[in-house]
Amino acid sequence: MAEQKDAEALVDAAVNTYGSLDILVNNAGVMDNFEPVGLVEDNTWDRVMKVNVDGPFFAMRKAVQYFATRGSGNIINVCSIGGIKGGVAGAAYTTSKHALIGLTKSTGYMYAKTGIRCNGIAPGAVETRISETIDMTNIPPLAQERIMPGMALNPRSGKPEEIAQAALFLASDASSFVNGHILVADGGWTA
């Protein structure tokens, strides 16, 4: 959901269908092909930024306006360890996830006194369809040399249900004092 009109329609549809919006989870993402900055093409940069940053931004902006009228709301962004580290993806993906983490922290801080919380989850490798956005036959030699050896340090891939459990915690009252935080869920990969 990278288009502003679609993101805003999503929030409106939730409010119109259910009478309220309590929690917004931004969980869309696409990868690059591990290209270092010197090899990133404009269309790759634009596609990754549009999905990974613009979409969440548009949905958050609309949701915050609604949450502000209620005095409460909860935003959860599925970020990535790519937003914490520099060596697990290419330049476009890594930049997009650093941006999403910054947006998450800024939003959590700015709205902390309004009853609106904003947190993120930084998963490691998870068994989802995001790998379909990578052309594994076209990984640049520099990425094969610099990034792929670090992949061997990953103890295991996570299940989507494990990330969902982290989201449920952040959505619940059990995390009422957690705000502007990025919860790493990577099986110990970044450790």
What's the confidence (pLDDT) of residue 163?
97
Q: Which amino acid is at 163?
A: I
What's the confidence (pLDDT) of residue 14?
95
pLDDT per residue of the chain (191 residues) written in tens, 0 to 9: 678 999 999 999 999 999 999 999 999 899 999 999 999 999 999 999 999 999 999 999 999 999 999 999 999 999 999 999 988 899 999 999 999 999 999 999 999 999 999 999 999 999 888 877 777 787 888 888 888 778 788 889 999 999 999 999 999 999 999 999 999 999 999 99
**93 annotated active-site:** yes
| CA distances, 147 to each of 63, 78, 82, 107 (Å) | 36, 22, 11, 31
What's the confidence (pLDDT) of residue 81?
96
What's the confidence (pLDDT) of residue 1?
66
3-state secondary structure labels for all residues of the chain? CCCHHHHHHHHHHHHHHHCCCCEEEECCCCCCCCCCHHHCCHHHHHHHHHHHHHHHHHHHHHHHHHHHHHCCEEEEEECCHHHCCCCCCCHHHHHHHHHHHHHHHHHHHHCHHHCEEEEEEEECCECCHHHHHCCHHHCCHHHHHHCHHHHCCCCCCECHHHHHHHHHHHHCHHHCCCCCCEEEECCCCCC
CB 92 within 8 A of CB 45: yes
- Catalytic site residue from 66, 93, 109, 111: 93
Spell out the CATH class of 4-8+19-155+171-185.
Answer: alpha beta
What's the confidence (pLDDT) of residue 61?
98
Strand pairing of 23-26 and 73-78? parallel
What's the confidence (pLDDT) of residue 142?
82
CA 139 remoteness from chain centre: 23
